[in-house]
Amino acid sequence: MTYLYQIDKINKFPLASYLETITVAIKSITKDGRVLPSAPRSVQGFFDQLLSVSRMITVTFIRHGQSEDNVKNIWAGWKDSPLSEHANALGQSLASTRITHIYASPLQRAYTTAQYVQHYQRAPKPPLTTNPHLREQHFGIAEGHPWVLQQPEDVSVEELYEQKIFPVLYGREAKYPGAESLDELAQRTEIAIRECVLPHLQQQRSLHPEGAQMSVQEEGECGSGDGVHVAIASHGLCIAELISALLKLDPHAPTMSRFGGLSNTAWTRMNVRIREGHQGPFDLSNPPPLEVIVTHTKERDHLKSVNDIPHVELDAASVEARAFFGGESLSVPQSK
């Protein structure tokens, strides 16, 4: 029934029409579990749709739990700090959602968040794998030091650096000494997608090749579970680029290229499959066109009853800090 629901959701046809097809479908099955060539088109289409959904995987991008640095105005890319209760609440909220694989940034705040997700999953627990390409953008010499939205007019950049104060850099190519730019982060996330997402699509393709007919036994195996569900625990800026990298593989993806602005432990979910009609092998270095369906964005209902790390009332800079590290693009301040 899980896959029937997914078929209904993707194709926007009444689920009842598929249920009405089942009776005819049963009569159209041979003893070895194949569909008769003489079966009505509705029955053949039913199994075609079921096979198509069996090749689909679900990907959930999760921002790490709230850390002490998240409520401070400091650069926290590869620098770690303790977490609040958010990650535990997240894990509990996802307990009833079957996840088959978990990938996480090796930075402690993301890895610990992934551990909470794994802990609340039913047995057998999904494997948890770290991947260095899922780390947050690196801020070089600015790591762990205060940041300001705008450079004071009477102070040079060099003087600010000497004071260990680092103004926000605008533009995708800008970076501090020893740091990486947004463009460099984007290149890294493309590798992460190839290593953490595409292999599962490749495996689904090998299990259910294009043009293959699925037996009733295989259909039962596909429909009895929740399919492949990959959870990726990472960071605000990195997730925005990860989603953008995945959407680039869909020639008909939504026009918005970034899904930034994730609160701590908020998540965005997508269904991904190879576009119909693609022939030939699945090459990880040159993947086929994908279909990416965004099903959830910026989900955070699990935080309604959770307390933040205690902190003073947020000033304008702190609000900007939360938005920035959540993956939102900051507007270039206007010159006075």
Q: Which residues are annotated as a binding site for substrate?
A: 63-70, 109
Q: Are 25 and 18 in contact (CB under 8 A)?
A: no
Question: Hunting for tokens 């499959």 — which residue is that?
Answer: 273
Known catalytic residues are 64, 136
- Determine the Cα–Cα distance for residues 156 and 79; give it in Å rounded to an integer: 26
Q: Hey, what are 142's tokens?
A: 């600015």
Strand partners for 294: 270
Distance CA 190, CA 211 (A): 29
Q: Which residues line the annotated binding site? A: 63-70, 109
Helices (H), the chain: 2-11, 15-27, 41-54, 86-93, 108-119, 157-162, 182-196, 198-207, 216-223, 236-247, 316-325
Give the C-alpha distances (Å, rounded to integers) separating 141 from 71, 75, 133, 322: 20, 10, 20, 21
- Interhelix angle 41-54/2-11, nearest 10 degrees: 100
- Look at residues 109, 282, 117 and name the one whose alpha carbon lies nearest to residue 194: 282
Tokens 């993301």 sit at which residue? Answer: 110
